[in-house]
Amino acid sequence: MPDSTEVDTNPKPTVIIVGAGLGGLLLGALLERVDIPYIILERASSFKPLGSAMSLGGQILPVFAQLGIAEKYQAIAKPYTFSRGISDTGESLLKLDYSVAQEVCGYSNYIVARPQLYDLLLTQVPAHKILLGKRVLAIGEDDERVKVQTSDNAVYEGDILVGADGAYSAVRQRLYETLRQQDRLPKSDQEDLPFNCTCLVGQTEPLDLEEFPQLKDTGYPFIFTLGGEEWGPYAALTMCDETRDFPIHYFGKDGANLTMGYLYDRTPQDRISKVMLEEKIFKTWHHGRTVLLFLAVSCHKLNPSAGQGAVTAMHDAIVLANLIYALPTNTSKAIHKAFTEYQTERFLPAIEASRNSVLLSMILNKGFMGMLALFVSQHIPDWIWRIFVRRMVHTRPAFGALPKQEFKETVAPFVSASEEKARKVFEMRRDKASAAGADVVVDASGGESASAI
């Protein structure tokens, strides 16, 4: 428990977030609500969120409710209970029941288009705090401050640097190079990301429900096709050409046989991207005043087929926000301790998410192992599947510096040490401010402030 005097007199840390992806935006949104100064440096010169769809439900909705955006999220997302896998000939192969997730969390699972989720989080961060066209060239620090130099010769200083800038994170690369020169970087962290496969992702324009009547089925909005041909690491549009004839028999009015090319033709080219799928969990998540955030896969990356990446990433941002809020001082020692607690809390969930990702993505593999994984999935006892889903949704930290949300879950979540720590600090500050003749209030957007009585 931090010393009360330190908590009261400590200036809030200045945070530099590199990367305006989902993780960087969520972290910024949480810091915004508790008035912790920060900036987000984004390499791109404009916002261009790519990706297809993702599943976010009860593991993250309590935090969205804390931010006041849960209803907006539910309005742009589509609830689902089941997912269905079909073969490239239209044969039904697999049905997965996620109803137990709602029983555990109190919320449905939702499918949401990644660009829409990105736009929603973007509304939670003031525009002037996101600086575009800021490619990181160098990072450095002394005992008191961390510095970031960008390609336009600008230099930014702060107390904490958060790398949320992708699988090939510039922050991680600069940090690892420094540690490697000091012979302090584990050998496994010096190895290249292992290449597994290539994924083509995108989002079509809205489809006509009369032309695609299966989309009216609210019970099965999440449908995936198993099978087809494998292809190599081509450019996105080349991959589209190579896979245009892949059948999607489940769709089509009156059972018409369609192909992926039909969807490609209804997708703007700037929404299609090629993703290299590497899976790895790095051992080094932080050093000094620099820490790596998951979402932009700076410290661990998962295969997206299992739907684990976005949730795990956002949980990392929440835990890190809790620990930044609860910092007793801005000394290097206190920051190192907070970063160590961050990795301690999040390492095992990252391992668990990675295992789940591997298990579920095996179903998509061709060959004997894929056939075996599919057979096991088709015949898994219900009680084992329910345990599996429960484990997937058991970890769901909230932001301890904002009011708790109404209890909806039937199974208590895994205890988040960072959330409890932040909540104790928040309550201590509120009580001390009240005793000193001021009220700590929560504004309409959820942030805290003090006002004299």
In the three-class reduction of DSSP (H, G, I as helix; E, B as strand; rest coil), residue 359 is classed as helix
129 pLDDT exceeds 80?
yes
In the three-class reduction of DSSP (H, G, I as helix; E, B as strand; rest coil), residue 443 is classed as coil
Domain of residue 303: give its range: 4-49+56-74+111-194+278-418
pLDDT at 294: 63
In the three-class reduction of DSSP (H, G, I as helix; E, B as strand; rest coil), residue 279 is classed as coil
Q: What's the rounded Cα separation, in Å, for the pair 431 and 439?
A: 9
Taking phi over 0 as left and psi of -120 to 50 as alpha, with beta for the rest, 255 belongs to: left
Q: What is the DSSP string of 71-111?
A: HHHHHHSEEESEEEEEETTS-EEEEEE-HHHHHHHSS-EEE
Average pLDDT over residues 327-338: 94
Is 246 a member of any domain?
Answer: no
* Range name among 11-15, 215-219, 226-230, 394-398 with the lowest pLDDT average: 226-230
Element (H, E) at 177: helix 170-181
Is 434 a member of any domain?
Answer: no
Question: Could you tell me the pLDDT band of residue 421, with boundaries at 50, 70 and 90?
Answer: very high
Phi and psi at 175, nearest 5°, equal -65, -45
> Which two tokens mark 86?
């079909």
- CATH of residue 413's domain is 3.50.50.60
Is 101 a member of any domain?
Answer: no
Question: Could you tell me the pLDDT band of residue 8, with boundaries at 50, 70 and 90?
Answer: very low
Q: What is the DSSP string of 282-334?
A: -S--EETTEEE-TTTTSSEE--GGGS-HHHHHHHHHHHHHHHHHT-S--SHHH
Tell which wins on pLDDT, 86 or 303: 86
List all residues 6 or more positions away from 143 whose beta carbon is below 8 Å from its beta carbon: 332
> Which two tokens mark 225?
């096709």
- Of the candidates 355, 357, 392, 313, the one whose C-alpha atom is nearest the C-alpha of residue 114 is 313
Q: What's the rounded Cα separation, in Å, for the pair 435 and 427?
A: 12
Straight-line distance from the first to the last Cα atom of the chain, in angstroms, rounded to the nearest whole number: 29
Average pLDDT over residues 356-377: 69
pLDDT at 6: 42
CB 161 within 8 A of CB 139: yes
2 pLDDT exceeds 50?
no
Q: What is the DSSP string of 14-48?
A: PEEEE--SHHHHHHHHHHHHTT--EEEE-SSSS--
150-154, 289-293, 382-386, 407-411: range with highest mean pLDDT: 150-154
Neighbours of 309 (CB within 10 A): 22
Question: Could you tell me the pLDDT band of residue 226, with boundaries at 50, 70 and 90?
Answer: low
pLDDT at 7: 41
Is 396 a member of any domain?
Answer: yes
Question: Could you tell me the pLDDT band of residue 290, with boundaries at 50, 70 and 90?
Answer: very high
Element (H, E) at 195: strand 195-201
229 pLDDT exceeds 70?
no
Question: Could you tell me the pLDDT band of residue 142, with boundaries at 50, 70 and 90?
Answer: confident
In the three-class reduction of DSSP (H, G, I as helix; E, B as strand; rest coil), residue 224 is classed as strand
Is 387 a member of any domain?
Answer: yes
Is 87 a member of any domain?
Answer: no
CB 243 within 8 A of CB 226: no
- Of the candidates 52, 37, 33, 56, the one whose C-alpha atom is nearest the C-alpha of residue 313 is 56
Average pLDDT, the chain: 79
62 pLDDT exceeds 50?
yes
pLDDT at 123: 96
Number of domains making up the chain: 1
Is 338 a member of any domain?
Answer: yes
pLDDT at 102: 80
359 pLDDT exceeds 70?
no
Looking at beta carbons, which pairs linking 350-353 to residues 24 or more positions away fall under 8 Å?
350/281, 350/294, 350/300, 350/312, 351/281, 352/391, 352/395, 353/302, 353/308, 353/309, 353/311, 353/312
* Range name among 274-283, 364-373, 435-444 with the lowest pLDDT average: 435-444
> Which two tokens mark 152?
């336009």
Tell which wins on pLDDT, 253 or 303: 253
Tell which wins on pLDDT, 309 or 92: 92
pLDDT in tens, 156-193: 999 999 999 876 788 988 999 999 999 998 888 887 76
* Range name among 217-226, 296-305, 361-370 with the lowest pLDDT average: 296-305
Is 431 a member of any domain?
Answer: no
pLDDT at 328: 94
Tell which wins on pLDDT, 408 or 276: 408
Average pLDDT over residues 122-136: 96
Tell which wins on pLDDT, 206 or 185: 185
